[in-house]
Homo-oligomer: A and B are copies of this chain.
Amino acid sequence: MSPIAYSALGHRAQPPTIARLMTLMLENPKLLSIAAGFTDTKTLPVSVVQAAVDTLARREGDPEYLQYGTNQGRPKLRALLADRLLALETPSDADAVRKNVFVTNGSQQALYLAMQVLCDPGDIVLVDRPSYFVYLEMLAGLGVQTRSLPVDAAGRIDGPALRTLLADMRKTGELSRLKAVYFVSYFSNPSARSLDETEKNAIASALTEAGAIVPVLEDAAYRELYYERPHPARSVLSLPSWSAFPRLYFSTLTKTFASGLKVGYGTSSDAGLLAKMLHVKGHHDFGTANYNQALLEEVITQGGLDAQLAVIRAAYLRKMHALHGALVEAGLASLGWTWTVPEGGLYLWLTAPASLDTGLDAAFCRACVDAGVLYVPGELCFGHDAPKNHIRLSFGVLGEADLAEAGRRFTGVAKRFA
């Protein structure tokens, strides 16, 4: 048989690093995984879903919810999602934001569509540092390069350093290949940080000064997953500093309600950009499963999403403390490891002593697997110049007792490498 002649994209398509983590899991069934960004299984909304399905089944008329839907998404669901977003903040162009709500197969597909219509291979995207590693792997698959938004020692956006970076990119001719800027802005995957308005404004002002008015992609997947109170920063949809930029805002009902339904959503300040993305979505699948959208429409209408959010906010706070507490109690901080206690989201972002290599092939990682605990190496979360001494831990899936045990095992290994 002749070898298959793949496309350039086909040649670039490589097994994701996460596949190696999955293999480690399968080979070591007793591993406690604080690697995967999966959500809490115990609190999944079984009865809320069943109630919504029953309501659909009792509806008068044809069961259109089992029929094909529309490419952009169900009008009523889109209106409900717009209402929720507009309850959080007041965009200057609220009508456009409302009209341009779209529904995708998780927010992942929306990111893919945006990158497809904006970037050719060799183009450049500015990303946060650290950034969402599945997005970084997607960019690599599309042949798109990254530059990091510079941060200071505290992990905050460094405006002056960004100005220097953009000036350097202008000198080398790279600025003309800069096609978008991306960041996870609330309780970030992986850093657990939120960007405050000063930081968001600093990015906008450096780009404006450089004349680089490129589309901005704000990934707000975890915005509603705060523990006690929402983060106060407005999004790019409302901040005046971003008003001249084409803006895309991404969110999801996977992390907040049920990842098994795989429904994400977003909106755009720019109808033309959205139209391009939807044309390509027409080619991908001509619409996210209509049934799932109808179901979520019912769930939101019946108050099931807010009820679920109340449950999981409390659950993730408890689970965060179970893992964080175990690390503290076992003495990880005294070994020179640092991290910030999150106020939302599913992750702890650890910084190890600078000399420790936490990569997948390093002795530390193998020792953790041998000790029965698996994590995500922080090096995956950087588009380039990846430091080796970060680790992402997730308290999404495991229960509190397992999280405490995982924390003890992890710290035990850290002690041996101290």
A154 within 8 A of B: no
A185 within 8 A of B: no
Which residues from chain B contact A215 at a C-beta distance below 8 Å?
Answer: 4
Contact with B along A221-260 (1 / 0, CB 8 A): 0000000000000000000000011100000001000111
Q: Is the CB of B260 within 8 A of A67?
A: yes
A330 within 8 A of B: no
Q: Which of B7, B39, B50, B213 contacts A67 (CB 8 A)?
A: B39
A307 within 8 A of B: no
Please give the distance in Å from A290's CB to the nearest CB on chain B.
Answer: 4
A1 within 8 A of B: yes
Count of interface residues, chain A, beta-carbon cutoff 8 Å:
83
A323 within 8 A of B: no
A261 within 8 A of B: yes
A332 within 8 A of B: no
Q: Which of B10, B45, B47, B118 contacts A6 (CB 8 A)?
A: B118
Please give the distance in Å from A64's CB to the nearest CB on chain B.
Answer: 6
The answer for the CA separation of A291 and B289 in the assembled complex, in Å, is 11
Please give the distance in Å from A296's CB to the nearest CB on chain B.
Answer: 11
Please give the distance in Å from A6's CB to the nearest CB on chain B.
Answer: 6
The answer for the CA separation of A141 and B277 in the assembled complex, in Å, is 12
A65 within 8 A of B: yes
- Determine, out of A268-276, A309-317, A358-366, A408-416, the stretch whose residues face the partner at the interface: A268-276
Q: Please give me the residue from chain B that is nearest to A243 by CB atom.
A: B1
- Determine, out of A109-117, A187-195, A367-375, A386-394, the stretch whose residues face the partner at the interface: A109-117
Which residues from chain B contact A2 at a C-beta distance below 8 Å?
Answer: 213
The answer for the CA separation of A279 and B2 in the assembled complex, in Å, is 22
Q: Is the CB of A213 within 8 A of B1?
A: yes
- Asked, given contacts A67-B39, A213-B2, A291-B260, whether A284 binds B108 with beta carbons under 8 Å apart, the answer is yes
Which residues from chain B contact A336 at a C-beta distance below 8 Å?
Answer: none
A335 within 8 A of B: no
- Determine, out of A11-19, A339-347, A376-384, the stretch whose residues face the partner at the interface: A11-19
